[in-house]
Amino acid sequence: MSNNSTVNRRDFIRYSGLSGVALVLGFSSAHGASKIENLSALVGQSFNLSPYVIIEKSGKITLINNKPEMGQGTQQSITALIAEELELGPDQYVIKQSGGQKKHGNAQFAGGSFSVRNSYDEMRKVGASAKEMLLSAAAKAWNCSITDCYADRAKVYHRPSGKSLPYSDLVETASTLEVPKSPSLKNPKDFKIIGKEVKRQDIPTKVNGTAVFGIDAVLPNMVYASVERSPVFGAALVKVDKSATEKITGVLQVVEIERDLGAYKYPGIAVVATNYWSALKGRKALNVTWDYRGNNKFNSKDYNQSLRDLAKTEGVVQHSNGDFDKVFAESKDQVESLYETPIISHSPMEAMNCTAHWKENNTLEIWASTQVPSWVIGDLTNRFGLKEDDINLNVCFNGGGFGRRLATDFIVEAVNLSKAIKKPVKLVWTREDDTQLGPFRPPTFSAMKGTVMDGKIDTFQHKVISPTIVPLQDKSKVDTTMVEGISEQKYEIPNMKNMYVYSDVHIPFGYWRSVTSSTLAFAHECFIDELAAKAGKDPMEFRLGMLNKPTDTKRVMEKLKEVSNWSKPLPKGKGRGVAQYEFFAGLAGQVVEVSSINNAIKIDKVYVVVDLGVVVNPDTVKAQMEGAVAMGITAAIKNGITFAGGKAEQSNFHDNPVIRINEMPAVEIHILTQEGGRMKGVGEPGLPPLAPALANAIFAATGKRLRKLPLEIDFV
């Protein structure tokens, strides 16, 4: 623990806004907390980390969630880990959101399905340490052995006599004790919260409208801003005629700003007004001249053809086993296919927005829906020369993220505007901005080759052709993000070769829910089906025949076969399709059932089996799987951003729709756990299998093999 910036107990409590004595605990790193630290009165030292457990003398208990909440349930799950070890009931504490400072840990972000699985041990240690200190305080009070004491529902009990003391009566004594270095953790068999369906504290607030999202922020003397940008990426700003804009009632100022996406920087013209409607009117009245620098010639038709041409070139080998080239060349029954997936926008329900207030004393306060509080603080300190303590980041509920809110561009824009005009500014993107200006999920084309022998795959090649999310500096190397998962599948294939071909394009790309697994699984699992058909095998049995070792994938597939009644024949006009995909976030498999009705497809049901190892809240897992299915269907049958004249052609939900409630099929979810198993991610694994399972089901029902997303067939 650092000795810098020490505070005494009274100063700390006053600073924290706590009433009376409080026991405050945190840990030294969000990645690996080998050392639990007492952050307040216990040793009267470092204030470098924020509290995670706050027990006030008044009886109020607050637990800190240091991961952004965007509907995925981390707020409940993270604090449940603490509460489990601290012996609190779900109704005995309130939850507070952290704000990005390092004292809350260095990994305050929600992405990669990391939030809960990377906090499982650390947050349990925080709760266990607090409990052990409270037990010690009670043992002192009763002059007994700590083994005579136990905790339950915010009280410590004395076994021999049955008497008890609430945590609030013990906190002052506990605050004088040393923090346990290796607190004992509960046996999972004794869990009361972990593994149980616990109601989330945020749900009622979202139902009754009291939940605060970033877009809900309202400040005294706040002004509004909307930014005009070139519809063509890579354009230069030539001139701006703002005379008509300045005549509009409510318009205060027109400011040139820059959008920074790291490798990509784009000029913009912000219209600042007393209300959002005036800002929009003023923006539309701008007369802007852009130099498109030839980028207005870009169109999807030509670009997609360039990807098809690249598919014929040799790629950089990412993985190889056996001798694919030799064995494939010698085979007489070669199968080759090209799979195509489009550019897609994130399109969260809450458009990008940020409210920023650069104050006269050069401190900054922000209200934002962001997936990356830690990165926001780091970015702003670097850009503006501020100290961390100069920034107060209010992390609001995110109205969806899906990777878009991993970027900080819209936050930096708001801060720049507030600093320039010396007022609190609310910057709001329109839905059209969100849809057309990226960053997008990159397009991915997959050139597949393979052969079968004796009812199994003998050779298998997956060549990925795509641009990268971060521009590739060395084209002789593979961007591993763009090939994730293709070499991690557990099928036993003797001759395999996976490659990557880089496509250079000026469009900005970003991380999208499940990243490239959402596209690569489509090609991988559909081509597995093609090879099953070539071998004359049932798709499920074909896969199980290549899973002879006791892997998690085999468990998932066996469970899928069971719960979906795979062996039971379906009537004519109906079909089942299966797919699974394992990648950095975890593993899930799905069976989709469809009906063919008058040459259109109806999605009847989706069976999901997800392998998690350990589950914190099964209800949250089910909600995540249902959401992944909905988003997977949307991406499979509805979404695709196309370009013409350098501009994105889609603009809003009318031409870039999301699945509606009446289109949602029945979803049956099964969760696989393992005693002592490794916790896996929840937020992303449920998405990649959907598109291939759906396409495979359509083939089973109609005999049509679809290799391009969105699937080119009518849906009911």
Which residues lie closer than 8 Å to 572 by C-beta, 6 or more apart? none
If pLDDT is split at 50, 70 and 90, which confidence band does 104 have?
confident
Bridge partners for 465 per DSSP: 445, 501
User: How many Å apart are CA 261 and CA 469, to the nearest integer?
Assistant: 11
User: How many Å apart are CA 619 and CA 610, to the nearest integer?
Assistant: 13
Question: Taking CA 642 as the corner, what is the angle to CA 584 and CA 585, rounded to the nearest 5 degrees?
Answer: 5
Mean pLDDT of the chain: 92
Residue spans of the domains in the chain: they are 9-206, 214-294+352-428, 301-343+441-702
pLDDT in tens, 262-307: 999 999 999 999 999 999 999 999 999 999 999 999 999 999 999 9
Burial of 220 (0-12, 13-18, 19+ CB in 10 A): exposed
The pLDDT value recorded for residue 373 is 96
User: How many Å apart are CA 380 and CA 84, to the nearest integer?
Assistant: 36
User: How many Å apart are CA 306 and CA 338, to the nearest integer?
Assistant: 13
Bridge partners for 319 per DSSP: 498
Q: Are 287 and 239 in contact (CB under 8 A)?
A: no
The pLDDT value recorded for residue 93 is 96
Over 50: is that where the pLDDT of 400 sits? yes
Q: Does the domain made of 9-206 have the CATH classification 3.40.640.10? A: no
Over 70: is that where the pLDDT of 41 sits? no
Query: Would you say the CATH fold of 301-343+441-702 matches that of 214-294+352-428?
Result: yes
Structure tokens at 338: 């090209």
Residue ranges of the alpha helices (H) in 5-119?
9-16, 74-86
Over 70: is that where the pLDDT of 11 sits? no
Burial of 568 (0-12, 13-18, 19+ CB in 10 A): exposed
The pLDDT value recorded for residue 643 is 99
Q: Which CATH architecture has domain 301-343+441-702?
A: 2-Layer Sandwich (3.30)
Is omega for the bond preceding 424 within 30 degrees of 0, making it cis? no
At what angle are helices 167-174 and 120-142 packed, to 10 degrees?
Answer: 90
Q: Are 450 and 527 in contact (CB under 8 A)?
A: yes
pLDDT in tens, 492-531: 999 999 999 999 999 999 999 999 999 999 999 999 999 9
At what angle are helices 409-421 and 373-384 packed, to 10 degrees?
Answer: 40
User: How many Å apart are CA 461 and CA 558, to the nearest integer?
Assistant: 26
pLDDT in tens, 605-626: 999 999 999 999 999 999 999 9
The pLDDT value recorded for residue 230 is 99
Instruction: For 669-702, give one letter per residue: b (16+ CB within 10 A) or e.
Output: bbbbeeeeeebbbbbbbbbbbbbbbbbbbbbbbb
Mean pLDDT within 649-667 = 97
Q: Which CATH architecture has domain 214-294+352-428?
A: 2-Layer Sandwich (3.30)
Over 50: is that where the pLDDT of 38 sits? no
Query: Percent of the chain beyond pLDDT 70?
Result: 93
pTM: 0.93
Helix, strand, coil proportions of the chain in percent (round to 5)? 30, 25, 45
pLDDT in tens, 149-194: 999 999 999 999 999 999 999 988 888 888 888 999 999 999 999 9
State in Å, rounded, how far the first CA of the chain is from the last one: 61
Query: Percent of the chain beyond pLDDT 90?
Result: 86
Name the range with the highest mean pLDDT among 122-126, 130-134, 468-472, 542-546.
542-546
Nearest alpha-carbon partner for 566 in 536, 544, 598: 544
Q: Are 589 and 609 in contact (CB under 8 A)?
A: yes
If pLDDT is split at 50, 70 and 90, which confidence band does 473 have?
confident
pLDDT in tens, 507-518: 999 999 999 999
pLDDT in tens, 334-381: 999 999 999 999 999 999 999 999 999 999 999 999 999 999 999 999
Structure tokens at 576: 């089942």
Count, residues in the chain: 716
The pLDDT value recorded for residue 24 is 65
pLDDT in tens, 228-239: 999 999 999 999
Q: What is the CA radius of gyration of the chain?
A: 28
Residue 67, Ramachandran bin (φ over 0: left; ψ between -120 and 50: alpha; else beta)? beta
Mean pLDDT within 621-642 = 98
